[in-house]
Structure 1
Amino acid sequence: MKKPPTTARAAITLLLSGALGLSLATPVQAHPGHHHPPVTPAPTTDPVYGAGWKPLLDIAGGPRQEHSVAAIGGDVYVIGGIVPATSGGVVTTDRVEVYDTRRGTWRNAAPLPVAMNHPNVAVAGGRIYVLGGLSGGASWQALRDSFVYEPRLDRWQPLPPVPAGLERGSAAVGVHGGTIYLAGGMRTLTPGPDGLQDTVATVSAYHAATGRWTTLPDLPEARDHVAGAIVKGTFYVLGGRDRGQANVRDTVYAMDLQALAGGWTNRAPMPTARGGIAFAAVGDRIYTFGGEGNVVDGVNTVFGQTEAYDTRTDRWQRLAPMPVPRHGTAAVAVGGTIYSPGGGNLGGGAPVATHDAYRPAWR
């Protein structure tokens, strides 16, 4: 296994116990005036596999956190993120690993040309696009570096950089009609107490065929570490946080991509306000997993909640929780099963190699 890069741009060493924890203020659980509709309770017992959770083979290369995932065919790509450093703490990595969902095996793929964590990743036209992310030394800064990956060749090619002013990491990302949409994100993440987290409300679109960027109406409020999915032409941005690890939000914003002038509308809020969420859409529903910002006795901990949003009825359902609660992971659906490799099982930087799958019963 290739050692993680150690260049100033690619690496940063942090204390695992508080690596990414910046603010431990009491989380905001809801915005005033939000109406919480009835929520369907979870089953009294966990469902059998086929309707619930299943453990899978751990990430072969070891623990990974603050990465992104993408699926092409039956392969799940784990891209960038942070990994444990040999000297202690964590470093940003360029590693790309692939889980074959048909064989249940791992393999390595060509590494990112530039190591980054919180990368903005999407699949369009059978290729993987990385449109910026975060990396750096004492403070993680947004990168404009962009690349496209051709799976048949196992090769990354550079793209023109993200336009100045639109660069960020940890954005909500969705794809519709060959266009990649990014909402929110953060331009700076400074580890340590009271470290700067520069959250943005920016929304933009990248047209894969032409390489052209356009700017769209901003989110009603800034968000990072947020869930995002496009279902039937509507872009949904769920939960996340605003300028602080514990400043979590329950908001759900939606924008019809065929009627951009209408801007963003509010939908039913999440039952549990969370940031650092993993998420995936299956059919008309968006599934959200885990997260961070659960402050208990002054200590930032992780969430284990699994909650699903029905885009047709604007309602939420609570489901069986994650067997291993964690944040800073990512999820992707392949054939109706949602795969979630890695993440952190403690607040801040605490990467694990855990890998599991969830097969929705509510369809």
Structure 2
Amino acid sequence: MRRVIALFLGAALMAGPVSPAYAHPAHPTPGATTAPGDPADPVYGKGWSRRAAIGGGPRQEHGVAALGHRVYVLGGIVIDPAGGVVTTGRVEVYDTRRDTWSEAAPLPVAMNHPNVATVGGRIYVLGGLSGGASWQALRDSFVYDPRTGRWTSLPPMPAGLERGSAAMGVRGTKIYLAGGMRTLTPGPGGLQDTVDLVSSYDVMTGRWESLPSLPQARDHVGGAVVGSTFYVLGGRDRGQVNVRDTVYALDLRSRRWSERAPMPTARGGIAAAAVGGKIYTFGGEGRHDGTNPNTVFAEAEAYDTARDRWVRLAPMPVPRHGTAAVAVGGTIHIPGGGTAGGAAPVAVNDAYRP
């Protein structure tokens, strides 16, 4: 099923009025849920394997990127010795061949929910969230060159485009961002400001471009480009009770949105990675029927972009949300994430091979 949505080439990107929404009253305060650590007796097999735990310890709401056979884990939130969690700029590197961890130069600015993509053998970070009691969107942007081991500052994101937790995709020299959020106040009743913005950044020219907005605002969402289509999968709209199963597809040639077969399981806070013509989605948080908004999912589901069909896969051995996924040589790596609603980071590092 494909329902075309009337958004056409040249449509201006406008940030329409956004009504504030808040986390449900029972949403846990960061650090006030379960104690961090690896869940007991996870079951592996059916494509799943356990890898060396994150060297620096538990991490959640981070970004990931792959360069060669290495997986980079960037920013996020970590355990604060004084209690709760704190935003970090730490960058750790997982060697998929040796099953070992090392450190890389930290982000110049600590951030969680960073917007991360890899183009031309370099890692780009285009904004994210940071702050204390309330996380706010940052315009700060950087590029990492593995040859020098250094971060270089880029011009900041244009005013009004800043957000974190966007769906990300790459085609050629352009990085695509869809949705995201400008404000996330953790804890019961915290403000969550979701946007429908869609934009691209050309790494060669340094130019930003506005694209037709998402049919509905989304954050904590999966994203991938397959061929000439940018897919935006699941996510939520201003709160864990507002998780969605929608799959939106932006044709990057015609710049028109269409709607594809929905996810079998509505969820936000998912990890997603493309292998071939399929997009794999893992975990997530939230339940839209109101029965338990703090649900953390073990679901793993794959979307076949050519057939417009979903397939259920063997579940995650360790259910998590607030994590990220990246493919290396056909194997998908999923380091870190939270095992309970809110913030409950773990150091678990799993791999899934379709």
- Scaled by the length of structure 1, what TM-score is found? 0.85
SS at match of 1:166: coil
User: 1:273 aligns to what?
Assistant: 266
What is the aligned partner in structure 2 of residue 124 from structure 1? 119
For each residue in 1:172-200, what CA deviation from the matched residue of structure 2 results, as whole angstroms up to 9, or x when unmatched?
Answer: 00000110000000000011222111100
Q: Does the 8 A contact of 1:294 with 1:303 survive in 2?
A: no
Aligned mates of 2:353, 2:325 — CA distance in 1 = 12
Alpha-carbon shift at residue 298 of structure 1 (Å)? 4.1
1:140 lines up with 2:135 in the alignment: yes
Q: Does 1:305 align with 2:299?
A: yes
Query: CA separation in 2, counterparts of 1:85 and 1:203?
Result: 34
Q: Deviations over 1:46-98 (max 9, x none)?
A: 995xx510000000000000000000000000000000000110000000000
The equivalent residue for 1:107 is: 102
Q: How does 1:6-17 map to 2 (within 5 A)?
A: 15-17=30-32
1:258 Cα deviation after fit: 1.2
**Gaps spanning 5+ residues in structure 2: where?**
1-28, 35-42
Q: Give SS of 2:32's match.
A: helix
User: How big is the alpha-carbon RMSD for the aligned residues of Structure 1 and Structure 2?
Assistant: 1.5
The question of 1:68 aligning with 2:68 is answered no
- Whole-Å Cα distance in 2 between the matches of residues 297 and 273 of structure 1? 13
Matched residues, number: 317
Please give the per-residue CA displacement for 1:89-115, whole angstroms capped at 9, x wherever unaligned. Answer: 000000000000011110000000000
Cα distance in structure 2, aligned partners of 1:171 and 1:15: 21
Distance in 2, Cα, partners of 1:93 & 1:348? 17
Structure 1 residue 247, shift from structure 2 partner? 1.0
C-alpha separation between the residues in 2 aligned to 1:67 and 1:246? 22
The alignment-based identity, stated in percent, is 73
Aligned to 1:177: 172
Cross-structure match for 2:206: 211
Question: Within 1, Cα distance between the matches of 2:98 and 2:186?
Answer: 39
Give the AA of the match of 2:261.
A
- Show the counterpart of 2:78: 83
Letter matched to residue 31 of structure 2: L
1:349 deviation in Å?
A: 0.5
**1:100 and 1:139 mapped to 2: Cα distance?**
34
Matched residue, 2:223: 228
SS at match of 1:304: coil
2:310 aligned with 1:316: yes
Q: Relative to structure 2, which stretch is displaced further, 288-297 or 75-84?
A: 288-297
- Match of 2:133, SS state, is coil
Please list every run of at least 4 consecutive aligned residues from structure 1 whose deviation after the TM superposition is greater than 6 angstroms: none
SS at match of 1:165: coil
What are the ranges of 5 or more consecutive residues in structure 1 without an aligned counterpart?
A: 1-13, 20-45
Q: Can you list the C-alpha shifts for 1:137-174, whole angstroms capped at 9, x where unaligned?
A: 22100000000000111100000000000000000000
Query: Which whole-Å CA distance do the structure 1 matches of 2:135 and 2:326 have between them?
Result: 25
1:288–1:110 CA distance, 2 compared to 1 (3 A): same
Contact 2:285 2:293 in 1 (8 A): no
Question: In structure 2, what is the equivalent of residue 347 of structure 1?
Answer: 341
Matched letter for residue 172 of structure 2: G
TM (norm. structure 2) is: 0.87
Q: Does 1:259 align with 2:274?
A: no
